[in-house]
Structure 1
Amino acid sequence: MADPNWRVRAAGPADADALSLVASATFLDTYAGSLDGSDLVAHCAAKNRPETFAGWASDPGDAVLLGEIVPGHAPVGYAVMTSTIDLPVALEPGDIELRRIYSLSRMHGSGLGPALMQAAVDAALRLGRRRILLGVWGENYRAHRFYERQGFAVVGTRQFRVGAVVHDDLVYGRSLLP
């Protein structure tokens, strides 16, 4: 996109409230109608706390990115890379987890998703990482296609709980080695 009306930037602890808000908004935007509403709300309340984002943004081994509308800088997407990996696959030296990457549906097709992914890859390389891992709901076919277009391949599976329901996820990996 030649002149996008958004930008991607590194986020810091001061962005924790905006990250928490966009995390809940994008999770609801993505899964409303697919998952139970009360489970979605409880999941967002538990997993998208500002303190969680402030911790990630403060950790020198992690990278947090924020997508914003220009002008005004309203949050519309984000990505979180963590050195703490919570995936049931054989880990290799230099692995990092792309724990979250989401944008509001109104941003789909704008180029924000690929820009967030490229910024995440660049951050992983700056951190000296060699492979990115991520987990995604097995029924989120749009995300599967996105990750595959970005060079990821399935490397395993996991189960992920949202509320009372355990979901089957795919685990994807992408080497950053030439």
Structure 2
Amino acid sequence: MENIKISKASIEAVETLQEIGRATFFETFATSNTGADMKKYLDEHFSREQLITELNHPDSRFYIAWEDQSPIGYLKVNTAQAQTELQDENSLEIERIYVLSAYHGKKVGQQLYEKALEVAGLLKKSSVWLGVWEENPRAIKFYTKNGFVPFGQHIFKMGDDEQTDIMMRREL
């Protein structure tokens, strides 16, 4: 899509990030999880307070994808102590690439991914890594197509349910 713009998010964008995050997470995972687990996860991870904390972390960066004046997705990347697990000073973690389902297949996720690579390059990182749910074949295919290879697993808590994420890395 030619008219997609990606901009760095500031604290003023907290409601936008909250709306996109809740909507995309629900669209992607609601059918595979219980209502109680989904509600617990959304309430804990997409609360205004939680997102403000994340936005204020010096080692995290958020970018919003816009179509005209409408937010349609976002990217969250982490370095150093903000990384959810690996905490490798030479790596950048892609924690979230969230795109509203109406924009799937329109290269918005690819543009957000390319923004992550741009940030990694500016920060002189030697690799990017992420965790992707083992039961999300669409995402696994996307990351594999973009040069990621599995290197481990970790547990992701979805409400009270423990799920397995495949950890994937791409050397730069």
Question: What is the number of equivalent residue pairs in this alignment?
Answer: 170
Structure 1 length-normalised TM: 0.88
The whole-number CA distance in structure 1 between the counterparts of 2:36 and 2:102 is 24
Correspondences of 1:26-105 after superposition (within 5 Å): 26-70=24-68, 73-83=69-79, 84-87=82-85, 92-105=88-101
Aligned position for 1:118: 114
CA distance in 2, matches of 1:166, 1:59: 26
Secondary structure of 1:129 counterpart: coil
Deviation at 1:18, TM superposition (A): 0.5
Query: How far 1:40 sits from its partner (Å)?
Result: 0.9
What are the superposed Cα offsets for residues 44-80 of structure 1, whole Å, 9 maximum, x if unpaired? Answer: 110012333333333443221111221xx22211110
Give TM-score scaled by structure 2 length.
Answer: 0.90
Aligned CA-pair RMSD: 1.6
Q: Which blocks of at least 5 consecutive residues in structure 2 are unaligned?
A: none
Partners of 1:152 and 1:50 in 2: CA distance: 32
Q: Does 1:167 align with 2:160?
A: no
Paired amino acid for 1:163: G
Following TM superposition, by how much is the alpha carbon of 1:92 offset from its aligned partner in structure 2, in angstroms?
Answer: 4.0
**Contact 2:44/2:50 (8 A) holds in 1:** no
- Residue aligning to 1:127: 123
Q: In structure 1, what is the Cα distance between the partners aligned to 2:31 and 2:89?
A: 39
Structure with higher helix content: 2
Structure 2 residue aligned with 1:143:
139
The answer on whether the counterparts of 1:56 and 1:82 sit within 8 Å (CA) in structure 2 is no
AA of the residue aligned to 1:40 = M
**2: CA distance between counterparts of 1:53 and 1:20?**
7
Give the unaligned 5+ runs of structure 1. none
Q: Residue 5 of structure 2 corresponds to which residue in structure 1?
A: 7
How has the CA–CA distance of structure 1 residues 50 and 127 changed in structure 2, closer, same or farther, with 3 Å as cutoff?
farther
